[in-house]
Chains A and B, each alone.
Chain A
Amino acid sequence: MVSKLSKALHARGVQRLALGLGVLLFAVLPVPEFWITQLNYIALYAMVVLGLVLLTGVGGLTSFGQAAFVGIGAYAAAYLSVAAGWSPWLTVFAGLLLTTLCALVLGWITLRMSGHYLPLATIAWGLSLYYLMGNLDALGKYDGIQGIPPLLLGSWDISEGRPFFVLAWGLLLVLVFALQNLLDSRTGRALRALRASAQMAEAMGVNTLRHKVGIFVLAALFASLSGWLLAHSQRIVNPSPFGLKMGIEYLFMGVLGGVGYVWGALAGALSAKLLEDQLQVLLPRWLGGSGSYEVIVFGVVLVLALKYLPDGIWSLVGRWLPAPQRPEDWQGAPALPERAKPVAGETVLEVQGIRKQFGGLVAVKDISFCIGAGHIVGLIGPNGAGKSTTFNLISGVLPLSAGSVRFRGDVVSGLPSRAIARRGMSRTFQHVKMIPELSVLDNVALGAQLRGRCGALASMLRLDRFEERQLLAEAARQLARIGMAETMHTPAGNLAMGPQRLMEIARALCSDPALLLLDEPAAGLRHQEKQALAQVLRQLRSEGVSILLVEHDMDLVMDVSDHIVVMEFGTLLMAGTPAQVQDSPAVRAAYLGVEH
């Protein structure tokens, strides 16, 4: 009974209900009116910062232009309700639509390039929009637009005081919950992979550009919503709260509160607002004169926070909260459908004269080989022979300079790695690429990315739970297969090197591959783990999976391989059975040198 009760209290739904009721309760408590006003501002700020949590904390991108999106939402509300006479309940949609368009264009232009161009573009964009708002006659120039109608529920004005508190905080909580749902889903894993390694994400079938643009748009929409609320509660808009200075302040709030945590947005908005209120009173008193001296403190605090508290205030608070336990609710979930495996005799992979040139250096020169269904091919060679480059060429991570790769009959060279992954080729990396802060189970479930279809919206509304159980069940099954079932709830970053490699194999297996590319899977494994690995490889082979194995552990390679390809200095040295390779003087010379 007691345990049931405590379980119920820990359930997410109950916690959320309690938070919602807490907001309602706070509104009817006899707290000073001034607090309510301040908290209303904090909710509006936190909404914007929540978008930055998604963009910066999760996706590893940054924007200084969020204030401009707040401005779009606010001006759309102001203009349409004042000049065009729209109902305030409709202006929000126009604002969101306009914001989407702007964010799409901006994101599409900047997100193809390396990370620092987006923040630069948002700085320029924030400035441009500020000057545009301040100079357009239709928008009232720097005076802005006055007389914006309030939000009415029937004849009840809910755009100020306590009713607005309930509206703003209610909306904020809804956004917080939606974001939490999103992060704990198939799409959420893909988003977290963006920052960890775009290359790995692509190899797991994630379209990284689409996801980056997606979170940029979503963050902009959060900001735009805040602008809509702001316009109808202030009843007046002018350009000043939408300038670059405010855009920087939003980022400041995020960094201060902890941009890696959803609740960090609230912590940041709250502490920045309180700090600002205090400083605006104290600083002019100390320094004499008037002016926004608080930016000095903001700047210094920002630098100090990045140095001494890089995870923000919430990282201190979060330490005291119980770690959320993932309920193992996937037992009995129906298995995911599997692809038709290659039948015996089918040529799974056909590599034809592939070549890779980096400037004047030919890293891989005219390599050709084939892999049949249910075969394990070992790719060996001394360090620097071009094995990993060959891997990257086959899996589409690097573009070919010449030659072709056919996979299950189709030419796949020239396709992006995610398209190749979709056809059933899955890989591990020589240097483990994972999402260290997520659990082992979540990391492995990322491998099943292409076997699910639920998108961001379904995840936010929790309509993805059935599929999610299937994906997690598959991840748990693959982990059990390689003997890592006990560690599934451990954060992946806490694993030792060997288990990290095994986890990558489980992740690759989760994609139900027809061909598995393993880059040094046994490095860092103990003897017994190696034997277990060999057992798994043999079992996979018997199921019809083909494997290309780059490995330095000769016992393992000779033990499991059906066929071996030897490379040296980017060229093919020889190919043959393990016995032939072991007997070859040329191979021995390549590894050990020649006797003179």
Chain B
Amino acid sequence: MDASIASILMLDGLTNGAVYALLGLATVLVFSVTRIIFIPQGEFVAYGALTLAMLQAGQVPGTVWLLLAMALMVGFLDAVQAWRQSARLGRALQAAAASTSMPLLLSALGWWAAPQQFPLAVQALLTLAIVTACGPLVYRLAYQSLADASSLVLLIVSVGVHLALTGLGLLFFGAEGFRNPSFWDARMHWGPVLVKGQALIIFLVSLAMIVLLWQFFSRTLRGKALQATAVNRLGARLMGISTTGAGQLTFAMAALIGALSGLLIGPTTTIFYDSGFLIGLKGFVAAVLGGLQSYPLAALGALFVGLVEAFASYWASAFKEMIVFTLVLPILLWRSLASGHSEEH
């Protein structure tokens, strides 16, 4: 291996690592606020990339129907709940409208906009909106009523959600893979390294997202409320913070990050309905490195995972995935020796 191959691999690894960093941050975020180990994070990645691919083809993406179906279910559940509490039809309808109006509006927008062949940037924004709106609905349907269950039960729920979303992905997008057009086709020569515009976009967007998240947590009341929920759910509730609201907000953010990652990674590789799982799990490996609680360690871990993956694909391409996932074992060993205590759960 010479310096130019090494630098190409490095760039490749860091580009993918930047996406894994986003996913790792989302994993840490969801776990710390809700104690949910969010296995389906990667499904949002595939949904993001493939929704855009469908819009590119001028078709109504299946995620629009998913959003519609979930909104109707949530509306029904919320109406029943409000009815049980107040026994007034007006209240029930109000509750249903409150939780469903936005998703319904978005799915209508998606249905209308799909055949219009809008410019790429508009379609990307629409994709983000559709997938992000799915997040809170998934929380409402699968997790909300189990929010106080043990983290083991929540983990198994996550696996159930993963299965369902993957199967739905197959139904919506078919078994065929798609590769999205680049957002920026430029190619630049920096010394010996060829930098693609898309790689630059990945770096910049990831960085911007991380800064945004950081600002959100340190500067806004909602961000602080999420932090409070992460530290102590009961305490946060006593301070008037809705843990349900916190859960839904967290899931919206997770879905947004997932969809964004999908848009970023979509032009660099072919995405299939089930590709998201492996991509999400690599973010997971990074999050485990951060002990599922440290954002900076998760981000660094993600870059490390990206680099290992890039170099592994050069030296032993057949064993690339195996090497990346086996990485979890030494990481866990290190963590277990470093912390060395088990906690009561």
Which chain B residue lies CB-closest to A127?
Answer: B325
Question: Contact at A251–B336, with CB atoms within 8 Å?
Answer: no
**Cα of A47 to Cα of B278 in the assembled complex, Å:** 29
Known A121-B329, A292-B170: A251·B335 in contact at CB below 8 Å: no
Question: Contact at B156–A62, with CB atoms within 8 Å?
Answer: yes
Contacts of A294 in B (CB 8 A): 167
Question: Contact at A112–B167, with CB atoms within 8 Å?
Answer: no
Q: How far is the CB of A356 from chain B (nearest CB, A)?
A: 15
**Cα of A125 to Cα of B342 in the assembled complex, Å:** 21
Q: B142, B156, B162, B284: which contacts A255 (Cβ < 8 A)?
A: B156
Q: Is B5 an interface residue (CB 8 A)?
A: no
Question: Contact at B168–A296, with CB atoms within 8 Å?
Answer: yes
Contacts of A291 in B (CB 8 A): 170-171, 175
Question: Contact at B156–A131, with CB atoms within 8 Å?
Answer: no
Q: Is B12 an interface residue (CB 8 A)?
A: no
Q: Is B328 an interface residue (CB 8 A)?
A: yes
Q: How far is the CB of A253 from chain B (nearest CB, A)?
A: 12
Question: Contact at A121–B155, with CB atoms within 8 Å?
Answer: no
Q: How far is the CB of B39 from chain A (nearest CB, A)?
A: 8
Question: Contact at A115–B152, with CB atoms within 8 Å?
Answer: yes
| A: interface residue count bin | 35 or more
Interface size counted on chain B using CB atoms at 8 A = 52
Q: Is A210 an interface residue (CB 8 A)?
A: no
Which chain B residue lies CB-closest to A397?
Answer: B344
Q: Is A497 an interface residue (CB 8 A)?
A: no
Q: B145, B160, B318: which contacts A299 (Cβ < 8 A)?
A: B160
Q: A120, A123, A199, A310: which contacts B344 (Cβ < 8 A)?
A: A199
Q: Which of A306-351 contact B (CB under 8 A)?
A: 306-307, 310
**Cα of A307 to Cα of B153 in the assembled complex, Å:** 10
Question: Contact at A302–B163, with CB atoms within 8 Å?
Answer: yes
Question: Contact at B171–A293, with CB atoms within 8 Å?
Answer: yes
Question: Contact at A299–B162, with CB atoms within 8 Å?
Answer: yes
Question: Contact at A299–B165, with CB atoms within 8 Å?
Answer: yes
Q: How far is the CB of A76 from chain B (nearest CB, A)?
A: 19
Q: Is B58 an interface residue (CB 8 A)?
A: no
Q: Which of B147-169 contact A (CB under 8 A)?
A: 149, 151-153, 155-157, 159-168
Q: How far is the CB of B9 from chain A (nearest CB, A)?
A: 20
Q: Is A178 an interface residue (CB 8 A)?
A: no
Q: How far is the CB of A335 from chain B (nearest CB, A)?
A: 35
Known A114-B342, A116-B152: A302·B171 in contact at CB below 8 Å: no
Known A62-B152, A131-B322, A292-B167: A113·B329 in contact at CB below 8 Å: no
Question: Contact at B157–A124, with CB atoms within 8 Å?
Answer: no
Question: Contact at A296–B163, with CB atoms within 8 Å?
Answer: yes
Q: Is B19 an interface residue (CB 8 A)?
A: no
**Cα of A297 to Cα of B171 in the assembled complex, Å:** 12
The majority secondary structure among interface residues of chain A is helix
Q: Is A18 an interface residue (CB 8 A)?
A: no
Interface string of B120-162 (1 = CB under 8 A from A): 0000000000000000000000100110010111011101111
Known A293-B171, A302-B157, A303-B161: A124·B285 in contact at CB below 8 Å: yes
Question: Contact at B163–A248, with CB atoms within 8 Å?
Answer: yes
The majority secondary structure among interface residues of chain B is helix
Q: Is B85 an interface residue (CB 8 A)?
A: no
Q: Is B192 an interface residue (CB 8 A)?
A: no
Q: Is A117 an interface residue (CB 8 A)?
A: yes
Known A114-B345, A117-B332, A248-B159: A296·B167 in contact at CB below 8 Å: yes
Q: Is A295 an interface residue (CB 8 A)?
A: yes
Interface string of B254-288 (1 = CB under 8 A from A): 00000000000000000000000010010011001
Contacts of B37 in A (CB 8 A): 116, 119-120
Q: Is A37 an interface residue (CB 8 A)?
A: no
Contacts of A110 in B (CB 8 A): 332, 336
Question: Contact at A109–B336, with CB atoms within 8 Å?
Answer: yes
Contacts of B278 in A (CB 8 A): 127
**Cα of A144 to Cα of B67 in the assembled complex, Å:** 41
Question: Contact at A113–B145, with CB atoms within 8 Å?
Answer: no
Q: Which of B286-345 contact A (CB under 8 A)?
A: 288, 292, 318-319, 321-322, 325-329, 332-333, 335-336, 339-345
Q: Is A216 an interface residue (CB 8 A)?
A: no
The listed residue with most B CB atoms (<10 A of its CB), out of A110, A129, A132, A295, is A295
Question: Contact at B145–A293, with CB atoms within 8 Å?
Answer: no
Contacts of A112 in B (CB 8 A): 336, 340-342
Known A109-B336, A291-B170, A299-B160: A135·B325 in contact at CB below 8 Å: no
Contacts of A199 in B (CB 8 A): 344
Q: Is B174 an interface residue (CB 8 A)?
A: yes
Contacts of B336 in A (CB 8 A): 109-110, 112-113, 117
Q: Is A540 an interface residue (CB 8 A)?
A: no
Known A113-B335, A116-B37: A295·B156 in contact at CB below 8 Å: no
Question: Contact at A296–B171, with CB atoms within 8 Å?
Answer: yes
Contacts of B318 in A (CB 8 A): 135
**Cα of A306 to Cα of B342 in the assembled complex, Å:** 26
Contacts of A23 in B (CB 8 A): none
Question: Contact at B151–A115, with CB atoms within 8 Å?
Answer: yes
Question: Contact at B328–A120, with CB atoms within 8 Å?
Answer: yes
**Cα of A112 to Cα of B338 in the assembled complex, Å:** 11
Q: B168, B288, B321: which contacts A131 (Cβ < 8 A)?
A: B321
Q: How far is the CB of A415 from chain B (nearest CB, A)?
A: 15
Which chain A residue lies CB-closest to B31?
Answer: A116
**Cα of A303 to Cα of B163 in the assembled complex, Å:** 10
Question: Contact at B344–A106, with CB atoms within 8 Å?
Answer: no
Q: How far is the CB of B188 from chain A (nearest CB, A)?
A: 35
**Cα of A299 to Cα of B335 in the assembled complex, Å:** 32
Q: Which of A75-129 contact B (CB under 8 A)?
A: 106, 109-117, 119-121, 123-125, 127-129
Q: Is A197 an interface residue (CB 8 A)?
A: yes
Question: Contact at A298–B328, with CB atoms within 8 Å?
Answer: no
Question: Contact at A113–B342, with CB atoms within 8 Å?
Answer: yes
Question: Contact at A124–B146, with CB atoms within 8 Å?
Answer: no
Question: Contact at A306–B153, with CB atoms within 8 Å?
Answer: yes
**Cα of A377 to Cα of B166 in the assembled complex, Å:** 63
Known A62-B152, A135-B318, A135-B319: A124·B167 in contact at CB below 8 Å: no
Q: Which of B13-58 contact A (CB under 8 A)?
A: 37, 39
Which chain A residue lies CB-closest to B328?
Answer: A124
Q: Is A17 an interface residue (CB 8 A)?
A: no
Question: Contact at B163–A116, with CB atoms within 8 Å?
Answer: no
Q: B152, B156, B343: which contacts A60 (Cβ < 8 A)?
A: B152
Q: How far is the CB of A189 from chain B (nearest CB, A)?
A: 19
Q: B161, B162, B328, B339: which contacts A121 (Cβ < 8 A)?
A: B328
Contacts of B165 in A (CB 8 A): 299
Question: Contact at B163–A124, with CB atoms within 8 Å?
Answer: no
Q: Is A167 an interface residue (CB 8 A)?
A: no
Contacts of A298 in B (CB 8 A): 160, 163-164, 167
Beyond A116-B37, A119-B155, A299-B165, 13 additional pairs, beta carbon < 8 A: A110-B332, A112-B342, A113-B336, A119-B37, A120-B37, A123-B39, A124-B328, A132-B322, A248-B159, A297-B167, A303-B161, A303-B164, A306-B149
A-B residue pairs in contact (CB < 8 Å), sample of 16? A62-B156, A112-B342, A113-B339, A113-B342, A114-B345, A116-B151, A117-B288, A117-B335, A120-B37, A120-B328, A132-B322, A251-B159, A287-B171, A293-B167, A296-B167, A306-B146
Closest 6 CB pairs of A and B: A299-B164, A299-B163, A302-B160, A296-B167, A124-B328, A295-B167
